[in-house]
């Protein structure tokens, strides 16, 4: 087996492992994030890659404003239009754990920080910035790469939210599809961090106020 073939096999194995780790069947919960960071950190160092290869490029102010606005609009649209419909058909997403934390103002800020660090930063770096980059190494056709990346990561991303019930899985799946498409519009992971972060902020504010 040539070096090129070995590299392709390694890429495929890495992708498969990273797509399996978040699945609820393994019941790793937050531990999966530690495993992901360890694997990603080793792979990045081994390949001597730059953060820009994962979409962390310089971004203009106007794109940051657009991304933030999209996140807020998506948050309101989801909280007051989409989620009620999904809840009626498939059950309300189970976010009781967050609601218990938000029994005080300090708890609200704790959940808000989690929403930005885990939802905004980690999930966008991993599910979009990193995995999209890895999938590009084995899928050379641009259109095929786009759709396979968006759909495969969205399936795993939504399934990882199984603890929220069917309603939560459906909600996170459509959200992930939209954010995945936005990646190819912005071509910048920082923008997705803002979209996701502000989306979560709206949802968290709604939970706290109600």
Residue-by-residue DSSP string for the chain: --HHHHHHHHHHHHHHHHHHTTSGGG--TTHHHHHHHHHHHHHHHHHT--GGGGT-----HHHHHHHHHHHHHHHHHIIIIIHHHHHHHH-----HHHHHHTTSHHHHHHHHHHIIIIIIIIHIIIIIIIHHHHHHHH--SHHHHHHHHHHHHHHHHHHTTGGGHHHHHHHHHHHHHHHHHHHHHH--HHHHHHHHHHHHHHHHHHHHH-
Query: Residue 124 has what pLDDT?
Result: 98
Is residue 113 very low, low, confident or very high in pLDDT (cuts 50, 70, 90)?
A: very high
The 10s digit of each residue's pLDDT in 25-47 is: 888 878 999 999 999 999 999 99
Query: Residue 68 has what pLDDT?
Result: 98
pTM over 0.75: yes
Average pLDDT of 94-104?
Answer: 81
């Amino acid at each position: 087996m040539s070096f090129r073939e070995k590299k392709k096999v390694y890429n495929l194995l890495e992708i498969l492992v990273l797509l399996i780790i978040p699945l609820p069947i393994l019941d790793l919960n937050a531990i999966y994030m530690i495993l992901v960071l360890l694997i990603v950190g080793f792979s990045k160092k081994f390949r001597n890659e730059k953060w820009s290869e994962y979409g962390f490029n310089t971004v203009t102010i106007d794109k940051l404003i657009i991304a933030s606005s999209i996140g807020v609009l998506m948050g309101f649209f989801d909280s007051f239009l989409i989620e009620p419909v999904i809840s009626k058909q498939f059950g309300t997403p189970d976010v009781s754990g967050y609601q218990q934390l938000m029994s005080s103002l300090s708890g609200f800020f704790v959940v808000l920080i989690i929403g930005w660090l885990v939802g905004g930063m980690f999930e966008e770096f991993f599910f979009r910035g990193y995995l999209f980059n890895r999938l590009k190494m084995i899928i050379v056709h641009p259109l095929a790469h786009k759709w396979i990346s968006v759909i495969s990561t969205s399936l795993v991303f939504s399934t990882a939210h199984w603890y929220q019930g069917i309603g939560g899985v459906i909600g996170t799946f459509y959200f992930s599809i939209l954010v995945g498409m936005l990646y190819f519009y912005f071509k910048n992971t920082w923008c997705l961090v803002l979209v996701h972060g502000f989306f979560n902020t709206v949802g968290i504010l709604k939970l706290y106020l109600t």
